[in-house]
Amino acid sequence: MTSGMPSKFRLDLISSLIVAAGILLATFISVRTAESRWLVLGGPLLLALAFIGADVLTAHLKGKLSAPSGASLILAGSVVMAGVIVDLSDPSLVKTIIPITGMGGWVAVQTGRAGLRRPCWGS
């Protein structure tokens, strides 16, 4: 294998592993702190940081600007806000939303920096 830019497979694998570790750790934190209204929010915060970290690392490895994209910031904010909303109702339910939001966010992280072609609508 040549040195230089990592292959697309490796880039996808690295960001997927970061998000997977974030999902597992965030779920663990949310389960262990389910009785505390404030500590349970550590899970959604950790998951949000995993999304941003995976996005920044992927951009860095592709040689682009090492800053979080707007999409990853919106995703991270929505994960934290979903955690707060569920926490206000029942803190023990936060642990149930972590894997769901994590898997949805994983898809967004995978396609966010992929450089997908935009459709041409009528031109």
Q: pLDDT digits over 65-118, tens only?
A: 888 888 899 999 999 999 999 999 999 999 999 999 999 888 877 776 555 445
pTM over 0.85: no
Closest C-alpha among 57, 58, 59, 94 to residue 79: 94
Q: What confidence tier does 21 reach under pLDDT thresholds 50, 70, 90?
A: very high
CB atoms within 10 A of CB 27: 20
Tens of pLDDT, residue by residue over 29-58, are 999 998 888 999 999 999 999 999 999 988
Q: Which band of pLDDT confidence, cut at 50, 70 and 90, is reported for residue 5?
A: low
In terms of Cβ atoms closer than 10 Å to its own Cβ (0-12, 13-18, 19+), residue 4 is exposed
Q: What is Dmax (Cα atoms) for the chain?
A: 56
Determine the Cα–Cα distance for residues 12 and 32; give it in Å rounded to an integer: 30
pLDDT band (50, 70, 90) for residue 2: low
CA distances from 10 to 5, 7, 13, 65, 81 (A): 10, 5, 5, 19, 31
